[in-house]
Structure 1
């Protein structure tokens, strides 16, 4: 039994039911994903704001960000957040996984997980042995027309920073062309589309949508099933083998807490019977914070031109009929992964570089005013030190959890963000991008000193929607699952999603989450792909 049909749950259900002797019940709190805004890549700008497609989560007031509450939309539909996200595909840096293994997560080093990345990929990099070519997940390169990609890449190089044709091989550093989970027909490749939808034809897989799981049911320390709700009707389902939670970094710890599994003091204070004292549940929350940087364009040179109503309607038709055009892509100009300090052994910032503000809207001369032409270059911290938590607001499963990210609760994260802002300014102030820019909108060219930049960070920092870590894998007292993803001290219960990651990988997290589910499917079946190194490293050895 699997709870949650998101980035991990859809993969797990599809892989486990490849064995006809295995029967899987998959429960999803949201509805279907066969929707126009979901399938069209550029529809992401609207899809993640739709209440019917998302959990409308907010942080508690963030103590180090002027008490602001941050918006945390998560997918509430088949495919989960992979159905509403920005579709950026990254594996993360190889050292990220080697650190997991060093923390006691045996079997999760880069050599261990690389075969699962390859198994899931259907990469555009034909005949490249570092990538998979027959997997269910399409990985395509972004169409950079209208995105000023070449100009940004040249500015990165002219500013003295590296560029690369492959961010996953070799030095794993530099500015590169962004890769996307968009299929060959220009449609979003969510885990619903790539994995679950084909598997739903199997007689051994049952999928129930609009099913809110209320708690797992226990007999002592053994999980026997779940209690869930459909249209106000409370039902139970018994598990023949295991219950596997795939709700993500917010919902999985919430469900454990609702079931009496977690920090005993917090559970008891919430009016719930303590079934198993497991202190780490809901702790260790890690997220990539981003700090905005915006430049005014010199002239009408940005993607705003493609948002003129008549052009946009033509682009929608082109996408629908041909799977191509300006709306069959991401808006990312390029994907710089850089080090703020040469002494670091891997990139610590990523620039979210777009030739348009994400708040831009359709316009038409004389009727609706054009959005301003601008470039955004948000600075993303890839390895933040801040850790937050997820707690219950009440014992009611309909209540969203209390989420505290604690972003920028330490000087090191401020220092990294400041360095990243200065690097981004240097890049955008270098030719040829400098010729396209008339000035700095946010935070403004006069904001220069450490104290002024820190004020900007506190006033504007947000998230990238990459939460992980709240049911962390490991061996210490705060570990929630072991390296086989079994909840420690329980029987018949696993967690398989981004919440098990000990810390956040250095890149977009959808790819790593899919990898976790791929590997978990083999763990559950008692098998494993042999460890391997990148072909590029083998050839150079």
Structure 2
């Protein structure tokens, strides 16, 4: 029997990630409400979590990453894929690549069409504006003065203008703003980095400014075992205390914000999920909810690389004396290469003209995937290589999250099941061929010598399929495992309340019925903003949208 801790709060938020930090901070704006935010990971004070370019060091580091792995993937030759997830305050927003995207407006209109009332693009745009402090200023599509600072990637060694010229030569559109009235084309990337050159995470944007509030209690290093029910009403959470399990009670609601892997895992540990699966693991069923853990979606990603004709990639900036100098420049002034994401151009395009929305994102990176520091005479410089990450934006395949046991310390079993359909495999082949067309067009082609991986000899459908199966990975954008708008498979309703019980909501990427066509950090923050208003019983009015421009 778990011990009652004596603590009691109006709201308990489980998970201090991209959504949970927002929910907790916004709820605590009401001085008459007390809020507890629980995070299983640690503090977010390390310099790697502040310096934008250091995300390449932070992301694989087990001090900051839970190091989850998939089960053997059935369509990827049985490979197990790494699933980086943030193990610190701010969650994955503290270790990600900081890319600021929303996806296509049609992505959110699709949610509404599926039955998620109040989640169309017109409905969510006010929350995207609310969260932003955009370098563009306030306007129809952007906000000014919000918690999340957004700035352009305008480092002058990234060959951005060359890629924009290549777009037009290859027959693709360019866009001044993928979050504006033309959500397709080649565009300058944007990132969540502040004016001092520091990463903007959900923790730095929302929680740190709120820590002085007496009604907000933030605890890190706390593992939640399960949600506690009395009948069908959620009354608190059971945590791992110093002397065994302890229960902390919630007077009003518990909000799960553990993400697409942990929120369904916690629901199932608590008795909400597919009844037969719960019984198989000895979990008493509170509510049979067959959609919990299903509908998992991710963005499959493949890499292409080209050898450079000349030593003109970002590898030049990785000579160790330059790194030392630029680290000092970043620490003192917040400027220089260390204050940026290394991305030449954000490419969001359709591989076939008849598609309604872009199906491919290309992360254009003027550096090799395995780049290392070097110094003449001590450690040789690697060959200069250009690398492109090809992200499939709207996969058909669906995966699942399941229990391995009833032990809350044992992580969930995740099967992404990516590339399960011929449609997905065909789209990935189309992506490779589209990237080859782009990189084979001048002026970008003038910098390239030959294709390094997979190599120009890999041409047929079967050859491309084999390469993609053997090498593809994920963009770290999991969604959908506690989704709304799924009919009988819905886990939450359109107000994010868990169906079949009381006093419990989910607010994170797991509630999304489909994955947005872009990086998911800003959409998760948007979910947190809207969730807080739903809990308060108020929502911002829908935006009046201008006519959208289509890519030429």
Q: For 1:186, which of 197, 215, 219 is the aligned residue? A: 197
Structure 2 residue 343 is the aligned partner of structure 1 residue 332? yes
Structure 2 residue 88 is the aligned partner of structure 1 residue 77? yes
**CA distances 1:151-180 after superposition (whole Å, capped 9, x unpaired):** 112112111111111112223110100010
Alignment of 1:107-126 (within 5 A): 107-126=118-137
CA contact 1:130–1:536 (8 Å) conserved in 2 = no
Q: For 2:72, which of 61, 67, 71 is the aligned residue? A: 61
Q: TM-score, normalised by structure 2?
A: 0.96
CA contact 2:155–2:337 (8 Å) conserved in 1 = no
Determine the C-alpha separation between the residues in 2 that align with 1:231 and 1:456.
49
Q: For 1:401, which of 379, 393, 412 is the aligned residue? A: 412
Q: 1:267 corresponds to which residue? A: 278
Alignment of 1:164-183 (within 5 A): 164-183=175-194
Structure 2 residue 14 is the aligned partner of structure 1 residue 14? no
Structure 1 segments unaligned to the other structure (5+ residues)? none
Determine the C-alpha separation between the residues in 2 that align with 1:55 and 1:265.
29
Determine the C-alpha separation between the residues in 2 that align with 1:231 and 1:146.
52
Alignment of 1:101-112 (within 5 A): 101-112=112-123
Determine the C-alpha separation between the residues in 1 that align with 2:72 and 2:81.
8
Q: 1:40 corresponds to which residue? A: 51
Structure 2 residue 137 is the aligned partner of structure 1 residue 136? no
CA contact 1:5–1:246 (8 Å) conserved in 2 = yes
Shift of 1:448: 0.8
Q: For 1:341, which of 352, 363, 377 is the aligned residue? A: 352
Q: 1:205 corresponds to which residue? A: 216
Q: 1:287 corresponds to which residue? A: 298
Shift of 1:534: 3.5
Structure 2 residue 235 is the aligned partner of structure 1 residue 224? yes
Report the 3-state secondary structure (helix = DSSP H, G, I; strand = E; otherwise coil) of the residue aligned with 2:236. strand
**CA distances 1:279-329 after superposition (whole Å, capped 9, x unpaired):** 000000000010111111112110000000000111111110000101100
CA contact 1:262–1:277 (8 Å) conserved in 2 = yes
Determine the C-alpha separation between the residues in 1 that align with 2:22 and 2:494.
19
Structure 2 residue 508 is the aligned partner of structure 1 residue 497? yes
**CA distances 1:361-401 after superposition (whole Å, capped 9, x unpaired):** 11111212223211111211000001000001111111111
Determine the C-alpha separation between the residues in 2 that align with 1:50 and 1:203.
34
Report the 3-state secondary structure (helix = DSSP H, G, I; strand = E; otherwise coil) of the residue aligned with 1:239. strand
Alignment of 1:88-487 (within 5 A): 88-230=99-241, 233-474=244-485, 476-487=487-498
1:317–1:473 CA distance, 2 compared to 1 (3 A) = same
Determine the C-alpha separation between the residues in 2 that align with 1:535 and 1:522.
25
Q: What is the count of residue pairs matched by the alignment?
A: 538
Query: CA-atom RMSD, angstroms?
Result: 1.2
Shift of 1:536: 6.3
Q: 2:534 corresponds to which residue? A: 523
Shift of 1:110: 0.5
Determine the C-alpha separation between the residues in 2 that align with 1:237 and 1:466.
31
